[in-house]
Structure 1
Amino acid sequence: MERNLFIELLEDGDNVSLYSPHFEGEEYSEFEKFLLAYKDTYPNDVRQLVYRLDIIKRDGALDRHFRYEGIRRDRVMALPSHLETTSLRLYLLNIQAKILILGNGGLKTTATYEEDENLHRQVKTLQKIDIQIKQKEKDKVITVSGTELLGELTFTINDD
């Protein structure tokens, strides 16, 4: 099934800007859905992840803030870093250490994300978005200017 989405600006920052995929016909972006799903059941974990995002916005999206996820050639990362522990994982794309595209995530109960259907689906969605962003960057349809993602920010991905 194909789904349309756009990359929505959540917060424009001096060092890092936050964006999130927003699927057509849905009320909330992927990051907003993550917050809404877990804020009441895992408030301390959500608070810790938001605190880490605040530090990243202040200091920049340096690799030390994240766990590498996905595969080598993509830009999928996760919060929290290996320095912190939470029951939740938030998946995101780190674009040139200036732009974070915050996806969704979930409760981490398995050794790897691939073992959990929900977490695997969240990572795969970001990987598909990343492939299209890279192609649009290569074709100069999308450009990064400072902490801004400029250009055609609409995509169609296949959920298969």
Structure 2
Amino acid sequence: MEKMTQLANYLASQDLFSSDQLSNWMEEVTLKIGAKDEGDRVLLYRMQYRAVLLIESYDYNANSLETFHAYVAIWLAENDTRSDLSSPHPNVAIDLLSDREADLELTLSFEEDIYISRSDQGSLTYQNENWSLQKSDYDVAESATVEASVADESSA
């Protein structure tokens, strides 16, 4: 649900519409259970869901539909890996209300890992220990260095 909320907040912050025009919710939530110990935490499950963001009475004369689409594409490119999803592409349903306004319904799939970590104050009991939900971290490498050496086969 974090990704849906982050995308909604990002779009609302672009001054394309007022925040009271936006509503969002989750549909078709699937939990892929498979506890995987990662040392200091456990990947408890992977949550897949369809996010729906509805913008009512979007003024497409003030901000073109292409501009809205561009902001969606930018956020996804910078914040989400979509290649592993069965439905990686967002859909936008446009309901024209007038020659100035339309209702936009953006639907897209997300996948989020849900972790737990040991905690004395944790409210979850797993394997006879107390655990707490841990916020997912979405680390993206901004650079990398690769060092390699090539063996000279002519001297062998």
Higher-Rg structure is: 2
Query: What TM-score, normalized to structure 1?
Result: 0.29
Query: What TM-score, normalized to structure 2?
Result: 0.29
